[in-house]
Amino acid sequence: MDLYAVFGNPIAHSKSPWIHARFAEQTSQQISYEARLAPRDGFASAVAAFRNEGGRGANVTVPFKLEACALADRRSARAEAAGAANTLIFDERGITADNTDGVGLVRDLAHLGYTLEGSRVLLLGAGGAARGALLPLLAEAPSSLTIANRTVEKALALATAFQPEGRACALLGCGFDALQGSTFDVVINATSSSLSDDAPPLPQGIYAPGALAYDMMYGSDETRFMQAARELGAERLSDGLGMLVEQAAESFFLWRGVRPDTQPVREALRGTLARSS
């Protein structure tokens, strides 16, 4: 049986073992997947120990995504662009790092019926979550992608770093106050505001008719961002539970070469959260 794990600190809350167990059962893959608590100053040692046990791959969550990328011998274009990795592959060549968060987001948006091509997209935040999402979002060819952040300089720096070569998409960075008078088709919250029951300060009129408000965070109830979006007129709301499942499916594919059906896993996980609330 092949060994896989997710490393983080904290990690007890992780849904990844449950998700990957469903994927393995569905695809008849013989794997063992567990959550491992790594010391904040001992991530590299924890990964080395796991490899010595025969580990074939790992997921990585906070606070180790930057370190995971730096630890690797090779990096995918997605990991290189993000500067962070949530997926590690161990083989005879060493460690390969990838970042499946952005593709997980894009696939979840597709499940929700949103085609980003030609859309006006607003990405809130300029940290690791936003950086990991940018390359896959730009690959979908939105007409514009605006990065808004409390610290304007961070938004501007991120927009500069990801300026799309050869693409028609307008990539902009700004502060929240500069959003007054702008309208978007998809608004994605990549900040951690929902963890503190808060929401970014968005103006009236920000949501176009039929617009989607999407929070990368998830829970058994609506996040504060989703509640605020409804108050501002967003017609469709979603949390990031589907993104969690989709990024896991991409990791599973990278490790096992088979792509699981995410829909039943998404539905089952949602039911599990509802029952536990």
DSSP classification of residue 86: S
Mutual orientation of helices 241-256 and 262-276 as an angle, nearest 10°?
140
Distance CA 55, CA 49 (A): 9
**CA proximity to 185, closest of 168, 203, 210:** 210
Binding site residues for NADP(+), as ranges? 125-129, 149-154, 216, 240
Binding-site members are 14-16, 61, 86, 101, 125-129, 149-154, 216, 218, 240, 247
CA trace torsion 161, 166, 167, 173 (10° rounding):
20
Active site residues: 65
Report the distance separating Cα 227 and Cα 265, nearest Å. 26
- Bind-site residues for shikimate: 14-16, 61, 86, 101, 218, 247
Instruction: Judge contact between 73 and 96, C-beta under 8 A.
Output: yes
Q: What is the rounded distance in angstroms from the CA atom of residue 124 to the CA atom of residue 102?
A: 14
**Residue 54 CA: distances (Å) to CA of 28, 33, 89, 90, 247:** 20, 12, 12, 9, 24
How many Å apart are CA 61 and CA 87, to the nearest integer? 9
Residue 20 CA to its chain's centroid (Å): 17
For residue 10, say if its preceding peptide bond is cis, omega within 30 degrees of 0: yes
Residue type, 124: L
